[in-house]
Every structure is written in structure tokens, then in C-alpha cells.
Amino acid sequence: MRLQPTAEQRQFARSLDAMLTACDTPSAARAWAAGDRAPGRAIWSRVAGAGVFALAVPERYEGAGTLPVELAVAFVELGRHAVPGPLVETVAAAALLTRLAETGDAAAAKRLLPRLASGEDMATLAVTAVGPYAVDPDAADLLLVADPARRDAPARARRGPAPSGDAVLRAAPGHGPLRVSNDPVRGRARPAPGGEVLAEGPQVAGAVAHAVGIAALATAAQSLGVGLALLDRTVAYVRQRTQFGVPVGSFQAVKHRLADTLLALEFARPLLYGAALTGARADIAAAKVTAGEAAYAAARTALQLHGAVGYTEELDLSLWLRKARPLRDAWGTPSWCRAQVLA
Amino acid sequence: MDLDPSPAAEALRAKARAWLAEHVPAAPLPSLETAEGFAAHRAWEARLAADRWSVVSWPERYGGRGADLEQWLVFEEEYWAAGAPGRVSQNGISLLAPTLFEHGTQEQRARTLPPMARGEVVWAQAWSEPEAGSDLASLTSRAVRTDGGWLLRGQKAWSSRAAFADRAFGIFRSDPVTRRPHHGLTYLMFDLRAPGVTVRPVARLDGRPAFAELFLDDVFVPDEDVIGEPGQGWRIAMSTTGDERGLTLRSPGRFLASADRLVRLWRATADPGDTALRDRVADAAIGARAYQLFTWAGAARLAEGSAAGAESSLNKVFWSEYDIALHETALELLGADGESADTEWAEGYVFALAGTVYAGTNEIQRDIIAERLLGLPKGRL
């Protein structure tokens, strides 16, 4: 019952933090939003070099073994630094292929996993039962789509991932027009129909459900990192910004809002690591909704306490501000997560 | 990281579960805020103590089992899951006892702790005063030096359990001329039936005498009942308030059990189409789990040698607000019956309402979080 990072896990987080701090991730994120992928791809390679994508891939496919706790530790840092790209979708795709291989369907894993683990390929993933869009399909080397096999799958399932029965996994040949997201660093489009069918059957549905869980876990971790970054930046700002002759951070109304922000984030953290340890669906859903809501509340607080300067795109704060809400709703809306907790 | 309780904790869990299954009263005891309920709870404490379950975290020689923090947490989970009665000795066990372990003398521990463990002496806390609630440094009740001890003069207010308790502990101003309000305070224990003590029970919101005012008119306290050095009361009290806000007052086991009951109530009674209410029930389940895991993480930090410090303020704000939300959700689930004051949920609701006020108001806790954990400038404007 030792819910504290080990020395190795702490060191892993510190080294990722140091590496990403040196990468100027805000510039790369801005370039990514403008369609220039080069700086983002360069960071992607370094993230892969640190072993992050290998954390969802077994050793036999050149991964590090499936290590959800380390994955959570890493995604907190990726969120803190606003790293661009379909990070969550890439590890979810890796988790999907891994689970397929574990249940006897190893062809796609053999071919695709080593390149995902090494960072050579960037993947994205759309699960029809969750939503129709894939994140950054134009930047990805591999666009995986999981469809329900039966066309009678109800459209209402779109509010949350509930794959059941058979499913089809395919590599889509392309995608429709990109839609601008509230977070311009997250381009999204509908995958094109057709493409190579990689696997099909009830084992695909199981693997998709597992992948959705890993996506939700990684998104929860990324949300926590986003929330922590928003809090850090806001605390720094209210310490130096003065009004009425004193730092605004000395006003009790400001302090209490930030205290509540810290409180929400610090209670999301153990849920995140607990979920990584158990892998239970209800635990992941609890972590997802709690971290997502905490990060979104942190964004609202950051905006309010930065005042008008926070309401501009120029300030780097906007990179985290705009990310919080989409992450809260991606891979399981709060309402869907709450239903899972009681399911 | 792991979530596996130690073998020792699992062993204690099994023993506790078996004992509780056999001994927990079939019907709930009367409210401990009544004379009848207080007596029934005292008897329950004696029953617990007879098999060394009343203070599992204390050393064996004082009636405990020498349980570490993890074992204690596991015991608490079992205790509340079994539907066992509330603890009438809570103030003594969670506030005075840790203070005595840290600052008391051998003699004070030997004299005070075993009867506390058996429920023979139930302790009330006597900290607040009419003009000093969360601002304890503004205390004005005095301890005046006399032969072989001190004379207490003044008034204490909102003294929990004092309507029926035997003894009390608190801090008093022993040096009225010091210019710094945190100095010159002395921590001591006194008898609620001593000459000069008048206890006036005060009804809480539901009319039950959950606390009392104490009027002290030259109440004699011998030197042997002073805890630590005279004048050091503030420092000693602060180490105790950390315990009060922190996890010893509200163990996760209690909220896990309550959330579990709430979810069962929801499954049995709720309209499945009412997703707004469903979401609140889910939040109650999530909150209990979050508090459990947060506490485990804190226990791991303590085991590594970190001090609890200002993080106990995070803990206090969380559980106090959580407790109210949990009970509000239950009352809503009960519908028309939610208004009836004779249910377990109703009493829990009234009890929860006080949580954001006592042990340092949540406004004070948020100041502590902002200043000590976030490094924001001091100031209460």
C-alpha cells in the first residue's frame, strides 16, 4: 500500500521534465497548430527516445513491457509541457495491438508495434463508439479505426465508449477535412471509409475496450499535468502582479480559489495512480472525470486570475487553457465516466 | 507503487473482521449526544478495550496493538464497514493521546491512557472561547500560578462532548503580559467535576447537547496535569491540531462505508433516468476512493519520514466538504423521508454540517494551503 512513486519513477519524471523544458514546447505547439510539424516531430523523437511510447508495448515487440504507472507518470509531464501531437492516441493504438496479440491475433502487432514503440511512426486512433473523429490524422503515419462490426450499433453510444460484440479494426486510407478544435493544437477529422482490415471479431472488441481504458488513463494523466501547469503559472503571476498597491496573490479571494485548485488536483493524483495500478474500469473512469474536472477548473481559475492578459492567444498560458476542456471530454465524458463508476 | 496491504495489515484485517462480525450490536446504539447513548457508547468502548480493539495504534502496554499507520487504516475500514458504533472517546484518542505520546511524561501516560482506552474516562476538548474560535492565539482564559499547581479562570465554549464527559484538556493564558499572543499559553488537563467548574450543555442544531460551555472559577489543577513546559501550550497544541485536521479524526474507512451505503440506497430507490442524482452518487463513491488513496499516499510519505505539515489542511477541507455533499445526496435520495430527523442519515447530516467550522475553519485552512503550500503572500484582505 505504497502509493508513492519509486525513486526510478521520480527520476523518470525529472528527466522527462528537464528534457521537455529544454525543447521549447510552447513554440513547437504553436508551430503544430499552424501546420508546421517539424518541431513537434523533433520533440516526438526525443519523447520516444526517453522510452515513453515503449511503455505500452511488450518487450517482444521492442517495447519496455506494459507499464501503466510509468505511462501515467510520463503523461503528467507531457501535459505539463503541452507537448503537441496524438500522444494519447498513439499509446492507445499500441495498447490495442498489444491486447490483440495477447489474445492470439498477432499479425498486426508484429508489423506495426515496433515502429510505434521506437517513435518512427505516429499513430492516431478513432473508436466509432466513442466519437467519429481522429486527432491529428494529417500528421499521423497510421490511422487506425475501430468500428462496430454490426451496423445496428446505436448512435447514442457516441457519448461514451461502450464497445461490445464484434468489432473491426482497419487502417483508414485517409481522412476528411480537418475541423478546427477549441484547442488549435488538436486538429481532428473523420477517417475515410475502407482501407486494410487488420482484425475482426469479438477479440477486437475486447482489445478496443482495453485501448479505450488506456486512452482514458493517459488523458487523465495529461489533464493532471495541464492542471498543474496552469496552477504553477497562475501562482507565479499573482505573486508578481500588483493591484491596489499589493500583489493580487495576497487577497483572500484569490488565495482561496488557488487553494481549491490545488486541492482538486492533489486528490486527482492518487486516483490516477490507483487506476494505473488496478486497471479497473471504474477506477480509470473515476480518475478520468476527477483529473478532467480538476484541470478544467484550474483553467477557469487561471483565466480569471490572469484577467484580460489571460484572455489572449499571445500568452503561452493559452496553450494549456484551451487544452483543458477538450481533454476533459475526450475518451469518456464526465457523465459517461460517472456512469461507469456505478456500473 | 503498489496498493497491496502488508501481510501484517491483512492479518489484522482478518482478525478485526471476525471480531466485529461477532460483537457489533445488531441494532444501532442511541445517539451518543444523549445521556442514554453516551452510557451505551461507553459500554461499547469497554467491550472494544476488553479485546484490545479500542486503540489499536497504541503500544501494547497502554491497551493497544502497536499497529502502524497502514494497519490502523485497514482496521478502520473494517470497523466502519461492519457498521460499528461511533467512538465516544474520539477526542481523547485522536487529540489528547497523540499529544501525551509526544509531549507528556511517562507518569501522565501511565495514569491517563489506560482509562481512556477503556472508556472509563471520556475526554472533552476545551480550546475555543466565546471570542476565540479559529483564532486560538486570542485566548483569554487564564491559568494563574498557585501552590503546587494552577488556578483556571474564565470561560470555554463549544466544548465537544463536555455535556457528559469526565475530564477536559485545553490551553490557557499563563503569562498575560507577553506581547506576542502565541506565547505564554499553557496546555493542561482538568476535571470537569472539580470544584469551580460549571458545565452548561449547549444544544447543537438538532437540539442534542453535543457540546457545552465551561465556566471556570479558580479551578485547581496540580502541576502533574500540565502537559509539557508551562508557556509552551501553543507549540504543543499546534502539533495536536495537525492530528485533528489530518487523518486520525476522519479515517477513510468511515467515508468508504458511508459511500457504500449511499450507493446501495441509490440502487434500491433511485429513478435510473435521474442522471443528475446518479452523478452525485458517483461523485460520492469517487470522493471516498480519492480520500482513501490520498490517505494511503500520505501514509507512505509519513513512513518515508516526511512530516504531515500543511498537507493536513488539504485533507481537512476535503473531508469536511465531502461529508456534507455525501449527506445532502442521501437526503435527496430519501425524498420526503429526507426531512425526518430520526434517521441515521439525518444525524450524520447534522454532524457533517459542523465539519467545515471546527478544527480550524475551512477559510483558515485555505489560507494555510495558499500560504504554505503555494507560497502566496500573507494577508487576509
CATH number of residue A260's parent domain? 1.20.140.10
Work out the average pLDDT over A144-162. Answer: 62
Place B242 in a pLDDT band, splitting at 50, 70 and 90: low
B71 vs B50: CA distance, rounded Å = 19
Cβ of A274 and B291 within 8 Å? no
Q: What is the pLDDT of residue B136?
A: 79
The pTM (predicted TM-score) of the whole model is 0.95
**Residues in chain A closer than 8 A to B296 (CB atoms):** 1-3, 270
Q: CB distance from A265 to chain B under 8 Å?
A: no
Q: CB distance from A241 to chain B under 8 Å?
A: no
Residue-averaged pLDDT of chain A: 94
Q: What is the pLDDT of residue A18?
A: 98
Q: Do A299 and A246 form a contact (C-beta atoms < 8 A)?
A: no
List A residues 64-123 in contact with B (Cβ-Cβ < 8 A). Answer: 69
Place B286 in a pLDDT band, splitting at 50, 70 and 90: very high
Place A164 in a pLDDT band, splitting at 50, 70 and 90: low
* Phi, psi torsion values for B142, nearest 5 degrees: -115, 150
Instruction: Write down the ipTM of this complex.
Output: 0.94
Distance of CA B244 to the CA centre of its chain: 6
Q: Residues B112, B163, B244, B117: is their CA dihedral positive or negative?
A: positive
Q: Do A226 and A80 form a contact (C-beta atoms < 8 A)?
A: yes
B201 vs B38: CA distance, rounded Å = 14
Residue-averaged pLDDT of chain B: 93
Residue A20 lies in a domain: no
C-alpha cell at A90: 498513439
Q: What is the pLDDT of residue A162?
A: 45
Residue A304 lies in a domain: yes
**Which domains occur in chain B, in start order?**
7-87 (1.10.540.10), 123-231 (2.40.110.10), 250-374 (1.20.140.10)
pLDDT above 70: percentage of residues in chain B: 97
* Residue closest to A2 by CA, chosen among B304, B8, B288, B318: B304
Q: Residues B137, B140, B146, B149: is their CA dihedral positive or negative?
A: negative
Q: Do A82 and A24 form a contact (C-beta atoms < 8 A)?
A: no
Q: How far B330 CA sits from the closest chain A CA (Å)?
A: 16
Higher pLDDT: B181 or A181? It is: A181
Residue A134 lies in a domain: no
Residue A139 lies in a domain: no
Residue A319 lies in a domain: yes
Q: What is the pLDDT of residue A160?
A: 44
Place B238 in a pLDDT band, splitting at 50, 70 and 90: confident
For A273, the domain range is 210-239+247-342
As beta bridge partners, residue A125 has A144
Higher pLDDT: A156 or B180? It is: B180
Residue A155 confidence (pLDDT) above 60: no
Work out the average pLDDT over B288-306. Answer: 91
Q: How far B379 CA sits from the closest chain A CA (Å)?
A: 5
**Residues in chain B closer than 8 A to A270 (CB atoms):** 290, 293-294, 296-297
Query: What does each C-alpha distance from B85 to A197, B79, B208, B263, B275 come to in angstroms?
Result: 61, 9, 18, 21, 33
Q: What is the pLDDT of residue B247?
A: 59
Residue A228 lies in a domain: yes
pLDDT digits (tens, 9 = 90+) for B338-375: 998 888 899 899 999 999 998 889 999 999 999 999 99
pLDDT above 90: percentage of residues in chain B: 79
Q: What is the pLDDT of residue B245?
A: 58
pLDDT digits (tens, 9 = 90+) for A35-61: 999 999 999 999 999 999 999 999 999
Non-local CB neighbours of B314 within 8 Å, separated by 6+ positions: A262, A263, A266, A267, B369, B373
Query: What does each C-alpha distance from B197 to B156, B211, B218, B221 come to in angstroms?
Result: 11, 15, 8, 12
For the ranges A128-137, A152-161, B13-22, B151-160, which has the lowest average pLDDT? A152-161
Residue B228 confidence (pLDDT) above 90: yes
B381 vs B367: CA distance, rounded Å = 11
**Residues in chain A closer than 8 A to B9 (CB atoms):** 1
pLDDT above 70: percentage of residues in chain A: 96
Q: Do A164 and A181 form a contact (C-beta atoms < 8 A)?
A: no
- Written in H, E and C, the secondary structure of chain B is CECCCCHHHHHHHHHHHHHHHHHCCCCCCCCCCCHHHHHHHHHHHHHHHHCCCCCCCCCHHHCCCCCCHHHHHHHHHHHHHCCCCCCCCHHHHHHHHHHHHHHCCHHHHHHHHHHHHCCCCCEEECCCECCECCCHHHCCCEEEEECCEEEEEEEEEEEECCCCCCEEEEEEECCCCCCCCCCCEEEEEEECCCCCEEEEEECCCCCCCCEEEEEEEEEEEEHHHEECCCCEHHHHHHHHHHHHHCCCCCCHHHHHHHHHHHHHHHHHHCCCCCHHHHHHHHHHHHHHHHHHHHHHHHHHHHHCCCCCCCHHHHHHHHHHHHHHHHHHHHHHHHHHHHHCCCCHHHHHHHHHHCCCCCCCCHHHHHHHHHHHHCCCCCCCC
**Which residue in B263, B289, B314 is closest to A286 by CB distance?**
B289
Work out the average pLDDT over B246-274. Answer: 89
pLDDT digits (tens, 9 = 90+) for A128-139: 999 999 999 999
Residue A250 confidence (pLDDT) above 50: yes
Q: How many structural domains does chain A have? A: 1
**Residues in chain A closer than 8 A to B285 (CB atoms):** 286, 341-342
Terminal Cα distance for chain B, rounded: 42
For the ranges A129-143, A244-258, A309-323, B289-303, which has the lowest average pLDDT? B289-303
List B residues 1-20 in contact with A (Cβ-Cβ < 8 A). Answer: 1-6, 9
Residue A156 confidence (pLDDT) above 50: no
Residue A42 lies in a domain: no
Residue whose grid cell is 467512538: B87
Residue A126 lies in a domain: no
Residue A333 confidence (pLDDT) above 60: yes
Residue A27 confidence (pLDDT) above 70: yes
Q: What is the pLDDT of residue B379?
A: 79
Query: What does each C-alpha distance from B149 to B73, B218, B220, B222, B226 come to in angstroms?
Result: 39, 11, 7, 4, 9
Annotation says B244 is catalytic: yes
Place B183 in a pLDDT band, splitting at 50, 70 and 90: confident
Terminal Cα distance for chain A, rounded: 26
For residue B276, what is the nearest residue in chain A, using CA coordinates?
Answer: A335
Residue B221 confidence (pLDDT) above 70: yes
Place B239 in a pLDDT band, splitting at 50, 70 and 90: confident
| Other CB atoms within 10 A of residue B53 CB | 23
Q: CB distance from B371 to chain A under 8 Å?
A: yes
Highest mean pLDDT among B131-140, B250-259, B339-348: B250-259
Q: What is the pLDDT of residue A157?
A: 46
Place B304 in a pLDDT band, splitting at 50, 70 and 90: confident
Q: Do B354 and A215 form a contact (C-beta atoms < 8 A)?
A: no
B227 vs B89: CA distance, rounded Å = 19
